[in-house]
Structure 1
Amino acid sequence: MERSEGGGGRLKDATKLKGQRFFLLRNVENLSPSQKERVDWILESHKEIGIVYGLKESLRDTWDYDSGYGAANHLLDWLITAERTGISALRDIIKVVDNHFSEILNWFRSKMNNGVMEGMNSVIQAVKRRARGYRDWRNLRTMCYLRGSGLC
């Protein structure tokens, strides 16, 4: 069964785009010259992808602000711009940014991330695996304190 002429162009485009997603997800400064050429071709030949890519880069620029005030204005502008595009694929990310707006701005006040907590969690998980179960939670707590302090 042969495909109609109208759908063939779309199929060719999809074939050309296959495997290119990771170039679009990477930071521009980490791309090789040939990868930059591929990204440029995708952005020029696929208008909607170009719009979304520009919004991705703009959202990434949020972290370049020195103050929460500037970042808040940037995020508000980003939300308005993203909503006005009318691209349905952006609905979920718009909702996430909108729902976590204040939490995103908390970073500008504290400059803290959850890396320390993730590290502590990995130590606790290692203690749990190593013991294969404790008689009660107090023993687990004690081992976590000992391991976290470096005594054992």
Structure 2
Amino acid sequence: QAVDAVRKSEVRHDARLKRTKWAWLTDMARWSKKQDEAVYDLTRSNLKTARAWRIKEALRDIFQAKPGREQAEGLLKRWHSWARRCRLEPMKQLAATIKRHWAGVLQGFESGLSNGYVEAMNSLIQAAKARARGYGTASHFIAICFLIAGKLKHLPANPFQTPLQRMVAS
């Protein structure tokens, strides 16, 4: 969000940034050939968006390296100092947010836990809710949530499936 806020403010003055939003927000390894051609030179320019992108990528590198708590604290302190002094207000706000949640961020490096599984289950449940266009009662919705997220193995086999379909499904 911080990188996109910087890009939005700068795109009014520099037409080169038009149609580059998703390139700035995705990982460089996942850029398409078109994005690579359009943005590669911009990342090495003096644009504010390029500076914000480099700050974001430095933070991403810290998280991808998965250092221990002590090493992460040192890396995050250096990153925080850089982001706080960068003169880009959205990046300063990001640095302030990380500072407010400093203990939790460092705990994440120590525990190695992530909320990725919870987010994945939430997306499945929200999709089921949208597909059904709501449920008659809260207990019906809760039952569907358990069926989707519970990964229940003891349920009886679907009587409408052929034995071959059962083998493929398991």
The TM-score, its normalising length taken from structure 1, stands at 0.68
Which range moved further: 40-49 or 88-97?
40-49
Structure 1: gaps (5+ residues):
1-9
Could you tell me which amino acid in structure 2 is paired with residue 133 of structure 1? Answer: T
Mapping for residues 47-86 of structure 1, pairs under 5 Å:
47-63=47-63, 64-86=65-87
Moved over 4 A (4+): 10-13, 119-127, 143-146
Structure 2: gaps (5+ residues):
1-9, 156-170
Equivalent position of 2:15 in the other structure: 15
Could you tell me which amino acid in structure 1 is paired with residue 137 of structure 2? Answer: G
CA distance in 1, matches of 2:123, 2:25: 28
CA distance in 2, matches of 1:19, 1:88: 23
Q: Could you tell me how far 1:146 is from its partner in structure 2?
A: 6.5
Conserved 8 A contact 1:79-1:94: yes
Conserved 8 A contact 2:55-2:83: yes
CA distance in 2, matches of 1:47, 1:106: 34
Conserved 8 A contact 2:69-2:110: yes
CA distance in 1, matches of 2:137, 2:76: 46
Q: Percent identity?
A: 23
Change in 2 beyond 3 A, CA 1:33/1:145: closer
Equivalent position of 2:31 in the other structure: 31
* Matched residue count: 138
Verify: 1:132 aligned to 2:136, yes or no. yes
Conserved 8 A contact 1:72-1:105: yes
Deviations 1:81-123 (A, max 9, x none): 1111222231221122111222222222222212333455567
Deviations 1:11-44 (A, max 9, x none): 8853331111211111111124442232233234
Change in 2 beyond 3 A, CA 1:140/1:60: closer
Could you tell me which amino acid in structure 2 is paired with residue 47 of structure 1? Answer: L
Could you tell me which amino acid in structure 2 is paired with residue 59 of structure 1? Answer: L
> Which has the larger share of helix?
1
CA distance in 2, matches of 1:123, 1:32: 28
Greater relative CO (CA pairs within 8 A, separation 6+)? 2
The TM-score, its normalising length taken from structure 2, stands at 0.62
Equivalent position of 1:87 in the other structure: 88
Change in 2 beyond 3 A, CA 1:120/1:73: same
